[in-house]
Chain A
């Protein structure tokens, strides 16, 4: 890092040169080489230390993180030195790229490695390579398949959320008074943390002895209003809670779409003599289709991460009926501390999501193009 100070000084003397002089290029390349060498050296020392080959080393891996940071800074400076103006432009993108590589790409690759281990964090013996044992275990794990099945239900239920949200968006775009008030109120559930919602609704409103919802259900003639006892009822209750939190998001986006809709189209429909339902069916809905599909896909992506509410309200019960993949893996880790198996499950899930979304995007592209 010592050479960085004079280097930045240099920059200030001659800003924005299209092609950097040869000497600066050499300095830049040397800087990258030096930084890489230093990083690898630190890494090597630490690996040797951890495997027990040498006594010298650090107590934890944090120096590696610092070494990576220094390397990233040196690389960025070298880019400016080597490529001048183009290097300065690359500087905008580099921090985000380095950050992403460090916290997404590397952990994901590391995760694929962990997935092949039999590694119980709480046991004294360390990781043990087990190849595809975790995958084989997964195929025999009925709870995992059950959770995947539940995810299908939750994902399909997004359509219901969408229908309600569309209705609300239409209501808000009607000529009404106090529109701002209603908009803020309708938005509020989205702001609340799912964990607080788990208690507010799941644990107290729907509590079967004296929650108001249960009282209301009794009043309406449901003898024994247990919202989390039977599998389907529990699944629906969880879904209702998640819908409560997430409908505002869909609504806001649809509302923006409605407001961006050209007025002439509506008026043309009016002239053609369409009634309310007809003009919705043949004008509003088709125009809103691209926005709708976008928001549905985003919503499904977020739905596939559903965990907080399930963990806190039912912990997957009764009998795994409400389990999502995330909440199941969370329990696999909490109950058995098995990092390897949990990661293997998560990796398979990720692969499934990628396949599903690729299909969905392909499909939706064709579909929206046909309509427009």
Chain B
């Protein structure tokens, strides 16, 4: 497929072996260079969480060779082996933020998945007419929310949530996160439902199922791959969200990015504890990226090949 393959085959029918090897070597050099760019910041963060002050200032890089790893950063979070079973206010704080992050991102992703799948199924199967709006207009109406920058909604929401007593609650965050991922879920799910032949719906009607029966019992189980992709993508986006969380939470509902950010701001913070905190904050998503990469890619590339 690649342009390089073309070069080899056509222009120089008998490419010298050396030249071909050079081409290969260049490709792998580029790949390895970018691998380094992608992984070094992560490597740096993880190793720094095991460093002491001297190792940080002298820019030691390789554990056991350059420096002796120590649980320093993790001890300050209360997550090192020796402090794990003791009481630790830092750990309690961290755990509660972690739980907040999980609840808000899972809650919002689920809500968006439910609302989005229903709307996507409707848009893929039926013809609607709301006033002047047809299906395409309705889809555009949902998708157009993607362009809305968070700042536009942030301050009105601050005022509204104050009146609704939803400031600093997880439920309030869930609502906002749902709205920010809903267009993406609708986009992915509509594509998924379009890929399922409409004959299946018709067969279900013939068998005496109602519209909703056909949807719930026949179509929905077939759409599971798309739902997983949409769910994981939403999860990633919600987990990393910072702007709304920073404005709308103060004590109870703070999420992980908010405490990472608040620690970053303070000057005297130790690098090792900051590194440990960052590592803990990115670890779940690095794992998701490694093991569920397939779903993320399929979610992102919906409709790209057309």
Contacts and interface: CB of A to CB of B under 8 A. Distances in A.
- Do chains A and B stick together as partners? yes
Interface string B47-59: 0100000001111
Given A252-B297, A330-B243, A257 B304 contact: yes
Interface stretch (B75-83, B91-99, B120-128): B120-128
A249 B302 CA distance: 12
Given A100-B142, A212-B61, A279 B159 contact: no
Given A89-B122, A261-B1, A333 B10 contact: no
Most interface-central of A174, A259, A277, A350 (chain B CB within 10 A): A174
A122 to B, nearest CB: 12
A5 to B, nearest CB: 18
B38 A186 contact: yes
B149 A346 contact: yes
Interface residues of A, number: 113
Contacts of B114: 95
Interface string A82-106: 0001001111110111011001100
Contacts of B240: 192-195
Contact of B285 (A62, A193, A210, A277): A193
B178 A357 contact: no
Contact of A350 (B152, B158, B160, B261): B152
Contacts, number: 329
Contacts of B274: 199, 203-204
Contact of A343 (B38, B156, B297): B156
Interface string B158-174: 11100111100000000
Nearest to B12: A275
Contacts of A295: 304
Contacts of B88: none
Contacts of A73: none
B27 interface: yes
A165 B81 CA distance: 41
Interface in B1-51: 1-7, 9-11, 27-28, 30-31, 34-35, 37-42, 44-45, 48
Contact of B155 (A185, A209, A312, A343): A343
B10 A114 contact: no
Given A89-B126, A96-B186, A16 B210 contact: yes
B153 A61 contact: no
Interface string B218-230: 0000000000000
Interface string A242-275: 0010000100110111111101001001110111
Contact of B39 (A188, A203, A212, A273): A188
Contacts of B4: 174, 276
Nearest to B281: A196
9 contacts: A60-B164, A108-B153, A196-B260, A200-B42, A203-B274, A249-B300, A253-B301, A269-B6, A349-B151
